[in-house]
Amino acid sequence: MQLERNKPLNAYNTFGFNTKAEMFVEAQSIAQAQEAIEYSKKNALSLTILGDGSNVVLTDDIPGLTLKMATSAFFIDHHQPGAAAIDDNKASDNNTCSVIAEAGVNWHQFVLATIEQQAFGLENLSLIPGTVGAAPIQNIGAYGVEISSSLSFVECIDCESNQLQVFDRDNCEFAYRDSIFKRSPPLQLGNAGFTPQFKQPRFLITRVGFTLQKQFEPQLSYAALANEIALRNLDKPDAQTVSNIVCDIRRSKLPDPAKLGNAGSFFKNPIISLTIQQDIQKHWPDAPCYPQADGTIKIAAAWLLETAGWKGKKVAGGTLGVHDKQALVLVNHGGGNGQALIELATEIKNSVKDMFGIELEQEPRTLPEISHPV
């Protein structure tokens, strides 16, 4: 285990904020991750897990030990049906295959490899930044597909026992931008009597299993994707074409973090009642609203921000702002910091609450995460 001290994190978060990790370790194996967890317990250090830092806001230096998974293998087994197929008593089902990827694998490279190796189902999730290990945390989703639809299991280290534990898909409690891993209660690490000031993660995801399809079926429920495919007169697009089109749409509105610091959507799309929707559409008939299966309505947070006048705005001396092509994306124009970004997010939340009566929920995690006093 190679420990680094006072590690600069500007290259380890896609906002590019300049903070440091008191101690930092990259685990090349599950055994090394367990060693790091043991070390943090023995030394009563708070533990923070970091993937590629594309869904975090670093507001300060991170105390204790920051652990990044650097495992990089994945396996696509065309002879083994996916686990969900076995659960459904379809062990002889020849239509699916089992795919397993380690936590440190880059998500987009993994998606491209599945397409190349004729294992289908992840195309619409192309170009989402980050690692495989972080993907189940908020049940990543885009263009009408969520990872939960093809995920079969999540393997983790339970930081309490430091033992491996496997969650079948049904036990992951997946929902829109949510899972058991995002909600898991903070853990009291450290020596007896030690009360950590910072929240501890309960589960470190080590590997993710998928059930992918051998035959490609395009999933075109998302209007922007279906429209683009119609516009290009593509009757039966193949998987690589769908992936390319998803990448094109994404590049046309989402900033590339290598050029403009951001963490994707900063707020979740709020779920509202039919009554609130009707009230809003009395004033704004074009408000983009999407009915959900349970009778609630999802409203586009980007539209709320744009209508409240935030699109393209700059604050904090021009260092931070709201993207001019997609109002849901907050950006670091250069020289901004995490605390000022949270101030901007708070201003935005207040203005949306005042104008529409809707409470926005932040999507990226703020780190370090302070515990409530015990």
Task: List contacts with ligand EPU (CB under 6 A).
Answer: 142-143, 222, 224, 253, 264-265, 268-269, 288, 300, 302-303, 306, 311, 326-328, 363
Out of 130, 190, 338, 368, point to the residue binding ligand FAD (CB under 6 A).
130
Question: Can you tell me the distance from the alpha carbon of 152 to that of 98, in angstroms, rounded to the nearest whole number?
Answer: 9
131 binds, among ligand FAD, ligand EPU, none (CB under 5 to 8 A by kind): ligand FAD
> In angstroms, what is the minimal distance from the CB of 329 to ligand EPU?
7
Q: Is 177 a catalytic residue?
A: yes
Question: Can you tell me the distance from the alpha carbon of 366 to that of 338, in angstroms, rounded to the nearest whole number?
Answer: 9
Show the site string, 193-212: x = touches ligand FAD by CB under 6 A, - = not: --------x-xxx-------
Token look-up 């403009």 returns: 260
Q: Is 363 a catalytic residue?
A: yes
Q: Which is nearer to ligand EPU, 153 or 356 (CB)?
A: 356
DSSP state of 114: H
Q: Using the rule CB under 6 A, is 56 a contact of ligand FAD?
A: yes
Show the site string, 234-273: x = touches ligand FAD by CB under 6 A, - = not: --------------------x--x----xxx---------
> Phi and psi of 189, rounded to 5°?
-90, 175
123: left (phi over 0), alpha (psi -120 to 50) or beta: alpha
Q: Name the CA dihedral angle for 104, 66, 13, 183, rounded to a multiple of 10 degrees.
A: 80
Out of 71, 138, 326, 332, point to the residue binding ligand FAD (CB under 6 A).
138
Which candidate in 146, 155, 177, 179 is catalytic? 177
> Phi and psi of 176, rounded to 5°?
-60, 115
> In angstroms, what is the minimal distance from the CB of 3 to ligand EPU?
32
Element spanning 362, H or E: none
Q: Using the rule CB under 6 A, is 54 a contact of ligand FAD?
A: yes
> In angstroms, what is the minimal distance from the CB of 227 to ligand EPU?
10
> In angstroms, what is the minimal distance from the CB of 207 to ligand FAD?
9
Q: Which is nearer to ligand EPU, 59 or 126 (CB)?
A: 126
SS3 5: strand
Query: Is the Cβ–Cβ distance between 266 and 364 less than 8 Å?
Result: yes
- 73-108: b or e for each residue (b if 16 or more CB lie within 10 Å)? ebebeeebbbbbbbeeeeeebeebbbbbbbbbbbbb
Residue 62 CB: number of other CB atoms within 10 A?
25
> In angstroms, what is the minimal distance from the CB of 56 to ligand EPU?
12
Q: Is 343 a catalytic residue?
A: no
Annotated catalytic sites, by residue? 177, 265, 363
